[in-house]
Structure 1
């Protein structure tokens, strides 16, 4: 088997650093509320997540587009479209134009985002694949951390300046264009059925719920910090950045932890996240709140690579493409519905809407942790063989 060059590996993994580019504006939600006081909170939060809905269109078309134009062209086109549309809000105060640009941003994201996973699955095998899938989650967290950290600095200029961070997408497009070859898929695999086993559909559903819960925390954290006076806009952005550093550590250590805990890695992720959000919900200390938020993202970041690695076990190359698209669709749908779901559920509970959301998240995480603890492992031999 031909050894993959370091430049290719770096270029493939660089896609992961911008996979969460839509969240770079999460920390400016309070500023956007002040700028657009007549716009409902759900619509403000949709500026963060609306791109995930429009991405569904190009995600569904992705298999056809890859067959027609090849994977590299699709990825590069997606990066360029996202870069151009992501810059529009830096130049306008028109809320609906900003919303429209975010919708167009999603069309580009749907072209490149699933291939942050599928390129790893096509190019690498065995233990190296498992490690790189862990790195993929970690680098996604690192990319978000760096972008959010830069956003925390740029917000001192204006919230418009944060949108200039989308320039990074053009750099990634250049890397892919120069150093990532078109993956080779065997002819017999291209005609193989692309139906997924029922177990994969269950994991896709769990992925949807997993990301719906993390969106509940991420969308409400800026308002929660503001309400409880845990810090200003810069503190919020730096906390979000530090949370992603926690995710980076989890991604880098996933392979090591999974070799020892196996399926209980998932239980650890949900149980630890539940305790972290509970501590965040009960504390009045800003340092404890910041620490809880960081620990939440660290421990919860073990769930993502576990779900991806486990769901890829035993699949054909063309099924890997299909699965990657559906996993991305699950995360995208969860992001779109999160503002609606949490703003409605938040009305039920003993405290403010924002506090109630964190309480609902705590309970849901605890229930899922318990269910994963008592569930029986499936296809154990197959998963172990893939490790």
Structure 2
């Protein structure tokens, strides 16, 4: 669906047919996006699963980078040629069909173990998954905002050009890839502190970038690149360990909807929120920093409350 619908604009001019093709393309992406995470959950376990979830995040960043380069080259031939990038989906689908084994839901025994691993009620677990989706929506909103606002900031402050901003964003993407590859080791080192560490990285980045110095823009962008892969990969790891068997794909889909909603609402939210801080490009970064500060307080407060409840129950 994604491959065939993706290349439709290369062949036709009709606006409505192109619009329909983009909707079909989105449906195709929606089918396999969450499944990629679920397949790792069902085929692997333990530290190997944690490592592979991190590599998946890293490959996602690599895919964005390579696709952007290829699209840039294709656009030199004309705007239509950029859509040919989606032809890659077709051979990839055959590779998936040939090499990825059929997966099944985990056994009832594993399901029972998973469901008994926590004293939380089913309702509380559902609330937790919704919170994960909202957390990732806000993180993605701001992470997207950094990429969108950074070129405008460099031009506004007269410290760089569009080409320089591309290099800075590439540095940020490279850092995200590295963090994804080493997520397993990072998690073994930080455990629960993975998420607060990711939020702190994004907070530092969003405060450093608008300070008017190119070296701070570069440093802040690289540091912010640490945040999203830490938070996102840990979210999918949490789902794989706590979701009842048979519901993993649905919950992964819900969380991915949070990702996509964050990207979708980023321009609207930044315009509205930035006006509260002065209405400049610089103020958009302070708005994002305020979001990360609030998220950090919420996450740490939730941990303290949860630890106190556990302590009281043990008493």
Aligned to 1:347: 275
CA–CA distance in structure 2, aligned partners of residues 155 and 283 of structure 1: 33
Aligned to 2:175: 246
1:313 counterpart = 2:241: yes
Aligned to 2:195: 266
CA radius of gyration, larger in? 2
Aligned to 2:7, the other structure's residue is in SS state helix
Higher share in helix: 2
CA–CA distance in structure 1, aligned partners of residues 90 and 56 of structure 2: 20
1:144 counterpart = 2:72: no
1:109 counterpart = 2:38: no
Aligned to 2:299: 372
Contact 2:198/2:231 (<8 A) preserved: yes
The one of 254, 274, 277 equivalent to 1:326 is 254
Aligned to 2:182, the other structure's residue is in SS state helix
Shift of 1:103: 2.9
1:304 counterpart = 2:232: yes
Contact 1:243/1:294 (<8 A) preserved: yes
* CA shift digits 1:222-249 (9 cap, x unpaired): 4334444555554444443332221111
Aligned to 2:275, the other structure's residue is in SS state coil
Shift of 1:133: 0.9
1:337 counterpart = 2:285: no
Unaligned runs of 5+ in 2: 116-121, 308-315
CA–CA distance in structure 2, aligned partners of residues 209 and 100 of structure 1: 29
CA–CA distance in structure 2, aligned partners of residues 155 and 218 of structure 1: 21
CA–CA distance in structure 2, aligned partners of residues 362 and 155 of structure 1: 35
Cα distance change of structure 1 residues 292 and 96 upon mapping to structure 2, 3 Å threshold: farther
TM-score of the aligned structures, taking structure 1 as reference length: 0.67
CA–CA distance in structure 1, aligned partners of residues 278 and 199 of structure 2: 24
CA RMSD of aligned residues (A): 3.1
* CA shift digits 1:61-90 (9 cap, x unpaired): xxxxxxxxxxxxxxxxxxxx2123333445
Taking the TM superposition and a 5 Å limit, the aligned residue runs for 1:1-387 are: 81-90=1-10, 99-154=19-74, 159-185=79-105, 188=108, 197-229=126-158, 231-285=160-214, 287-352=215-280, 354-376=281-303, 378=306
Contact 1:267/1:370 (<8 A) preserved: no
* CA shift digits 1:162-215 (9 cap, x unpaired): 3332222222112112111220235759x9999854323322222222222222
Cα distance change of structure 1 residues 187 and 374 upon mapping to structure 2, 3 Å threshold: closer
CA–CA distance in structure 1, aligned partners of residues 26 and 88 of structure 2: 16
Aligned length: 296
